[in-house]
């Protein structure tokens, strides 16, 4: 049976040797670098075969290790154009925990995804070498140390020329990721989808948690503030001028009520002009969507965006210089149906399709 599977989609063992701090997906941690179920041919030239998720017509969806889209799992980013990376951290949460289980659940739901995007014409697996790099080995007892581990892992990914697509994890993780991004690209633009601006300065005497990542990014000069847009902002607040800080930095703040009952295609046309051709990062908090669609999250807010609007936002980034993406704040304990993780998996696939150099027909 293993020979039959190997003939169709290459079941193989690699030699490891990847970036320190990266582990295979949760529940799949062998002693060597297991590359998993999927076409796992190493890229030797631009026209060489690329990794492909196995077709459900050849391999049952219940077969194989739990990787994103059942792609090969490898320890090193070398030779990859893009990679899915899990960051199972939730010790920066302020309300309901559980996002540490987000990467695992998103991978489980991604089994339904296929290789082509008929709506956009994108064929990412014909264009890019993609794999699952497993999880960053975070320290669940120390948030500062976890941020160091995340930053160092992403520095190594970026040095290899690989674009990371991150499965979170709470929103704290975006801060060390953007530290690594700015080290390579300089200050980046940001398309930030969220119910919250995440620009608080401090809570309970701490300056680092999931409500402060973009304040810390501004403090360190990691963002090109004139090229930052925050979409889907809503909810009650402790003050009436809750948007003042973001707008004073030059961010464009798009409230959820300004998105109700309308297409966001015109908005994204404006965002594309704002972003230009310089590097941008996409950070998508699943609580940007209404909890009717995405209940499995830690800080839900009513009257949010719809899944179709989420697609319009991500597809509106196609053709921009996207250098990295994340999807954060999926909390499986509050997602009994799996719908939130399924939505997250689909949005990550859309992000992959929006990357530069993806063939569009």
Say how far apart CA 124 and CA 19 lie, in whole Å.
24
Q: What is the pLDDT of residue 46?
A: 57
Enumerate the known binding-site residues: 171, 194, 196, 198, 285, 287
Q: What is the pLDDT of residue 35?
A: 34
Q: What is the pLDDT of residue 48?
A: 73
For residue 298 the two structure tokens come to: 């830690």
Print pLDDT tens along the chain (361 aa): 333 333 333 333 333 444 446 776 654 443 323 333 344 444 444 567 899 999 999 999 999 999 999 999 999 999 999 999 999 999 999 999 999 999 999 999 999 999 999 999 999 999 999 999 999 999 999 999 999 999 999 999 999 999 999 999 999 999 999 999 999 999 999 999 999 999 999 999 999 999 999 999 999 999 999 999 999 999 999 999 999 999 999 999 999 999 999 999 999 999 999 999 999 999 999 999 999 999 999 999 999 999 999 999 999 999 999 999 999 999 999 999 999 999 999 999 999 999 999 999 9
Total-model pTM: 0.89
Q: What is the pLDDT of residue 32?
A: 29
Contacts for 219 with CB less than 8 Å, ≥ 6 apart:
none
The C-alpha angle 13, 109, 55, rounded to 5 degrees, equals 55
Contacts for 8 with CB less than 8 Å, ≥ 6 apart:
54, 58, 59
Count CB-CB contacts under 10 A for residue 117. Answer: 20
Length of the chain: 361
Contacts for 46 with CB less than 8 Å, ≥ 6 apart:
none
Would you give the end-to-end CA distance of the chain in angstroms? 37
Enumerate the known binding-site residues for Mn(2+): 171, 194, 196, 198, 285, 287
Task: Assess contact for 260 and 302: CB atoms under 8 A.
Answer: no
ω into residue 169 within 30 of 0, thus cis? yes
For residue 113 the two structure tokens come to: 């995804």
Say how far apart CA 117 and CA 353 lie, in whole Å.
7
DSSP letter (8 states) at residue 53: P
């Amino acid at each position: 049976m293993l020979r039959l599977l190997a003939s169709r989609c290459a079941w193989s063992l690699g030699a490891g040797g990847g970036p320190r701090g990266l582990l295979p997906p949760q529940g799949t941690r062998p002693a060597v670098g297991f590359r998993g179920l999927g076409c796992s041919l190493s890229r030797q030239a631009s026209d060489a075969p690329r990794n492909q998720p196995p077709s459900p017509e050849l391999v049952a969806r219940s077969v194989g290790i739990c990787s994103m889209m059942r792609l090969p799992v490898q320890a090193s980013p070398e030779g990859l154009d893009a990679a899915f990376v899990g960051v199972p951290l939730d010790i920066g949460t302020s309300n309901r925990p559980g996002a540490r289980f987000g990467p695992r659940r998103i991978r489980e739901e991604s089994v339904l995804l296929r290789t082509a995007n008929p709506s956009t014409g994108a064929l990412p697996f014909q264009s890019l070498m993609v794999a699952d790099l497993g999880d960053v080995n975070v320290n669940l007892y120390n948030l500062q140390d976890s941020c160091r581990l995340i930053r160092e892992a992403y520095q190594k990914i970026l040095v290899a020329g690989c674009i990371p697509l991150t499965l979170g994890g709470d929103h704290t993780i975006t801060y060390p990721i953007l530290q690594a991004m700015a080290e390579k690209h300089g200050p980046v633009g940001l398309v930030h989808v969220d119910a919250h601006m995440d620009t608080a300065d401090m809570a309970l005497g701490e300056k680092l948690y999931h409500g402060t990542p973009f304040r810390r990014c501004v403090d360190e000069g990691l963002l090109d503030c004139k090229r930052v847009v925050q979409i889907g902002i809503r909810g009650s607040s402790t003050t009436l001028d809750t948007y003042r800080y973001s707008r004073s930095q030059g961010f464009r703040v798009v409230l959820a009520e300004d998105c109700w009952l309308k297409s966001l295609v015109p908005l994204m046309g404006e965002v594309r002009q704002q972003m230009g051709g310089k590097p941008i990062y996409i950070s998508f908090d699943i609580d940007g969507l209404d909890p009717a669609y995405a209940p499995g999250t830690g800080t839900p807010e009513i009257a949010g965006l719809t899944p179709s609007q989420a697609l319009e936002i991500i597809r509106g980034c196609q053709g921009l210089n996207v250098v990295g993406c994340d999807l954060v704040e999926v909390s499986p304990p509050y997602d009994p149906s799996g719908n939130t993780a399924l939505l997250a998996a689909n949005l990550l696939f859309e992000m992959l399709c929006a990357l530069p150099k993806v063939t569009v027909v």
